[in-house]
Amino acid sequence: MDPAASFFQEPPVLANQYQDDAVLRAHLQRVVPAEMLAGVEAQLVAMGEQAAGHMLALQDAAEANPPQHVPYDAWGRRIDEVRTDPAWAELGRIAAMAGLAALPHDPELGPHGRTVQMALAYLFAPSAATYLCPIAMTDAAARTLVEHGDAGVFGAAIERLTSRDPDHAWTSGQWMTEREGGSDVGATATRAVRDGDVWRLYGTKWFTSAVTCDVALALARPEGAASGSRGLALFYVELHGVDGGWNNLRVNRLKDKLGTRALPTAELDLEGTVAVPVGAVDEPGVPKIATMLNLTRLHNSVAAVAGMRRGLALAEAYAGVRDAFGRRLVDLPLHAETLRQIAAQADGGFALAFRVAELCGRAEAGAATVDEARLLRILTPLAKLFTGKQAVSVASEVLECFGGAGYIEDTGLPRLLRDAQVLPLWEGTTNVLSLDVLRAMARDDAAKPLVDDVGRMLVDARGVDELADAVAAVDAASRALGDRLATLGAASDEVVAAGARSLAFALAGTYIGALLVDAAAWALSHHPERARGAVASASRWAASVSCLG
């Protein structure tokens, strides 16, 4: 018998993704009160089970049968139907029932609602064919309407956007990007025209993700308003009328994307689409949509760290079953070292994204101090830009851990890389976010609370022998960062802007170093028998962060 004919490899098998994730579980133990965690743990276990079980088949089905745009019916009528696989809708039902958009509004969870929600989202995302994208926009639209809209006008919509009943729940889109530019929002050409009692929108939205949504928030320029971003107002749109037909809009085509293939992303023409202003129509809409953007940026960060964790879980599972050179991969020193480096990246990104979730929950519950609010403002773009880049490089490394199998489509592995690539560019590119970090520093003096928080965490970890080197390295990076920040005032705007990305990476890298040290100190004092991974990640991070400051 030809030996090649009997060749096969054991595939990596995922365990329950909650029970198997020591980093997530330790974090929740630290930041969520024990009684509350006990109350939500069954949900986390169930999501961890689904994510390693039947959701994988739903994800595969949705990806294998991407959305289709059917512009006309058989008799020539324009219908613009967008057909998706039933598995896509099923993923939406799972999200609604888990309360992925509802939990931050649950008064019983108070400031911890965001952390619990993001823990579930983190388990859901890597098995959900990018369904976290519509959830992110839905969650963020609900919060934006709560903060900037009239409850009498939008109460019913908010109730549906935050419903856990999948037959009643709505999802939202976010219509910002136009042909003129996704980053240069001030160039928006869509017009809002008063027509009797209603406003109508005219223009083209060039990237509208999850076009199967029920509502959307859109920027448009009311007639006579100023040019640039200050003249834009924020509008609420229902995509369909009561008869089920489109609200005077046309689907031009669906985008043929590198990844996120199950997610229908469309180009839309608005041809008199009826819209309702969110708040006063003469108020600038950009600061209002910033509420939405900051939340979708947090979701983006969580999707990034979830993707890294999934890649690591798969690479570790494979290393435990694949032999090479007469040994299991996991026993090969350099391969084991590579896995530990990936783990340090995943742990670092996780710590930053979930710190943002924690602060966001406190701010939304009215429990944040002034410094925590400023910290949230700067950490949100930092988390998005840093984890987005990490996700791509980690996904690439994970594929390499599988050798040739990592390059073969039906292993499902190439999708990890394709789907990661959207994370640095969706919801603001790395450069746009680096400039937003400068904006947060200039307007809110937000670098100071970040540096102060690093100092607080290092003080807490001083005297812990196992962390002495890591504390010293992060401390040195923080002092170098302080020196660098002190020079900014004397530099020209052009020079400061040109250095924005490197400064953002230094800020994020140093802050993550402190978060990892803090988490390791907590693990050593609470669960020393389980602290090895946390100490290893803190030490590895600190060894590289010393060159970032």
The footprint of ligand MFK (CB under 6 A) covers: 130, 133, 176-177, 182-183, 185-186, 207, 209, 229, 257, 260, 263, 265, 284, 286-287, 290, 293-294, 422, 425-428, 432, 436, 439, 443
Short-list 355, 358, 343, CA closest to 390 = 343
Compute CA distances 21 → 26, 79, 176, whole Å.
9, 46, 36
Identify which of residues 12 and 279 has a Cβ nearer to ligand MFK in the complex.
279
Instruction: Tell me the C-alpha distance between 227 and 431, whole Å.
Output: 23
Q: How far is the CB of 258 from ligand MFK (least distance, A)?
A: 9
Identify which of residues 109 and 432 has a Cβ nearer to ligand MFK in the complex.
432
Q: How far is the CB of 476 from ligand MFK (least distance, A)?
A: 31
- What one-letter code names the amino acid at 51? A
Provide long-range contacts, Cβ within 8 A and 24+ apart, for 105-111: 105/142, 105/146, 105/162, 109/36, 109/40, 110/361, 110/365, 110/367, 111/361, 111/362, 111/364, 111/365, 111/367
- Under 8 Å between Cβ of 91 and 62: yes
Q: How far is the CB of 133 from ligand MFK (least distance, A)?
A: 4
Q: Which residue is nearest to ligand MFK (CB)?
A: 182
Identify which of residues 127 and 338 has a Cβ nearer to ligand MFK in the complex.
127
Identify which of residues 413 and 446 has a Cβ nearer to ligand MFK in the complex.
446
Identify which of residues 25 and 148 has a Cβ nearer to ligand MFK in the complex.
148
Short-list 397, 394, 234, 421, CA closest to 305 = 394
- What one-letter code names the amino acid at 438? L
Instruction: Tell me the C-alpha distance between 330 and 337, whole Å.
Output: 9
Identify which of residues 51 and 286 has a Cβ nearer to ligand MFK in the complex.
286
Q: How far is the CB of 533 from ligand MFK (least distance, A)?
A: 30
Q: How far is the CB of 110 from ligand MFK (least distance, A)?
A: 23
Identify which of residues 419 and 453 has a Cβ nearer to ligand MFK in the complex.
419
Q: How far is the CB of 200 from ligand MFK (least distance, A)?
A: 23
Q: How far is the CB of 192 from ligand MFK (least distance, A)?
A: 17
Short-list 303, 320, 283, CA closest to 14 = 320
Short-list 482, 484, 477, CA closest to 546 = 477
Phi, psi dihedrals of residue 476, rounded to the nearest 5°: -65, -40
Q: How far is the CB of 229 from ligand MFK (least distance, A)?
A: 3
Q: How far is the CB of 380 from ligand MFK (least distance, A)?
A: 7
Residue 172: DSSP 8-state: E
Identify which of residues 480 and 488 has a Cβ nearer to ligand MFK in the complex.
488
Sequence-ordered list of residues with C-beta below 8 angstroms from that of 354, at least 6 positions apart, any chain? 27, 31, 115, 118, 302, 305
CA dihedral over 476, 482, 485, 487, signed as positive or negative: negative
Identify which of residues 12 and 173 has a Cβ nearer to ligand MFK in the complex.
173
- Under 8 Å between Cβ of 87 and 61: yes
Compute CA distances 449 → 373, 376, 377, 441, 444, whole Å.
9, 10, 10, 10, 10
Tell me the sheet residues that pair with 116.
none
Q: How far is the CB of 483 from ligand MFK (least distance, A)?
A: 27
Buried b (16+ CB within 10 A) or exposed e, 302-334: bbbbbbbbbbbbbbbbbbeebeeeeeebbebee
Distance of CA 435 to the CA centre of its chain: 19
3-state secondary structure of 117: helix
Instruction: Tell me the C-alpha distance between 479 and 409, whole Å.
Output: 46
Identify which of residues 293 and 512 has a Cβ nearer to ligand MFK in the complex.
293
Q: How far is the CB of 272 from ligand MFK (least distance, A)?
A: 24
Instruction: Tell me the C-alpha distance between 352 and 89, whole Å.
Output: 31
Beta strands in 376-437 (DSSP E): none
Identify which of residues 73 and 184 has a Cβ nearer to ligand MFK in the complex.
184
Q: How far is the CB of 153 from ligand MFK (least distance, A)?
A: 23
3-state secondary structure of 412: coil
Q: How far is the CB of 62 from ligand MFK (least distance, A)?
A: 14
Q: What is the largest CA-CA distance in the chain?
A: 81
Q: How far is the CB of 143 from ligand MFK (least distance, A)?
A: 13
